[in-house]
Amino acid sequence: MEFETITLDISDQIATITLNRPDRMNACSLTMAGEINDALSSLGDARCLIITGAGRGFCAGADLQARGSSSIAGGEGSYIALTRHYNPLMLNLARLNIPVITAINGAAAGVGCSIGLAGDFVIAGKSGYFLQAFVNIGLVPDGGASWMLPRLVGKARATEMMMLGEKIYGDKALEWGMIHKVVEDADLMAEARALATRFANGPTLAYAVMRKNILIAMENSYSEQLLAEAEGQRIAGNSADSAEGGLAFLEKRKPVFKGK
């Protein structure tokens, strides 16, 4: 599949989506949102996904300079863009059945911040930062930020990010528990790839159930989550990888998971 605003590479069962508008700091146009969605449906045998940005930024947010049919200007335009394009993208990322790693190089602003923080493991280069820039132009956080941030960093810090609109660099994001790791910029993709390789050789079905249970735990009661765990264990326990894991344990060797 050919794309205009992103690239998709799949090798060694690792998919890499690169936001590819470096001249616009990878600002996420409606076209880009649609292409990311299309890519998420075209991952084939991939068992892990990496998302990163080309050039010196991860994603500068929504493309506010788009015109014509791609315009998201004004309240009605923003509403339509979110409900038809950006929100489905965020939901599809959340519901993906493989682990997601985001490699943050430079700015992750606006909806780019939401996409960046949608990773199960967020790795930031030293130049990486997270910015809820909406308040600076009289808008409000979107892309799931007002749901995601309080759960990641608590109400006070989420309010600070959203109402002050200041950059949160990788070291501070790590201190807050927002991300997994901060590395040198030159090491960013190597770190992401090494972690992705670990996931690509892991129990893919179990990872899928974990992702789902972590997501629904935010809304479930304790008893509901206990039942969800039991259902998830039934699914994972009937998998070939579970059988291999049990056999490997008894034979005192490293399991060889096939993602089935």
pLDDT tens profile 225-236: 999 989 898 898
Res. 187 pLDDT band, cuts 50 70 90: very high
Q: What is the pLDDT of residue 77?
A: 80
Q: What is the pLDDT of residue 43?
A: 95
Q: What is the pLDDT of residue 66?
A: 57
State yes or no: pLDDT of 137 exceeds 80. yes
Q: What is the pLDDT of residue 73?
A: 63
Fold of 6-200: 2-enoyl-CoA Hydratase; Chain A, domain 1 (3.90.226)
User: Residue 53: phi, psi to the nearest 5?
Assistant: -120, 145
Res. 249 pLDDT band, cuts 50 70 90: confident
Q: What is the pLDDT of residue 124?
A: 98
Q: What is the pLDDT of residue 173?
A: 97
Spatial CB neighbours of 210, under 8 Å, sequence gap ≥ 6 = 232
Instruction: Identify the residue with better confidence: 64 or 99.
Output: 99
Q: What is the pLDDT of residue 68?
A: 44
Q: What is the pLDDT of residue 248?
A: 85
Q: What is the pLDDT of residue 1?
A: 74
Residue where the block lists tokens 């649609």:
34
SS (H, E, C) 60-107: CCECCCCCHHHCCCHHHHHHHHHHHHHHHHHHHHHHCCCCEEEEECCE
Per-domain boundaries in the chain: 6-200, 204-250
User: Residue 26: phi, psi to the nearest 5?
Assistant: 60, 35
Average pLDDT over residues 10-21: 97
User: Residue 121: phi, psi to the nearest 5?
Assistant: -130, 115
What is the rounded CA–CA span in Å between residue 258 and residue 260? 5
Average pLDDT over residues 163-191: 97
Q: What is the pLDDT of residue 193?
A: 98
Question: What is the pairing mode between strands 107-109 and 129-131?
Answer: parallel
pLDDT tens profile 36-95: 999 999 999 999 999 999 999 999 999 876 544 455 567 888 888 888 899 999 999 999
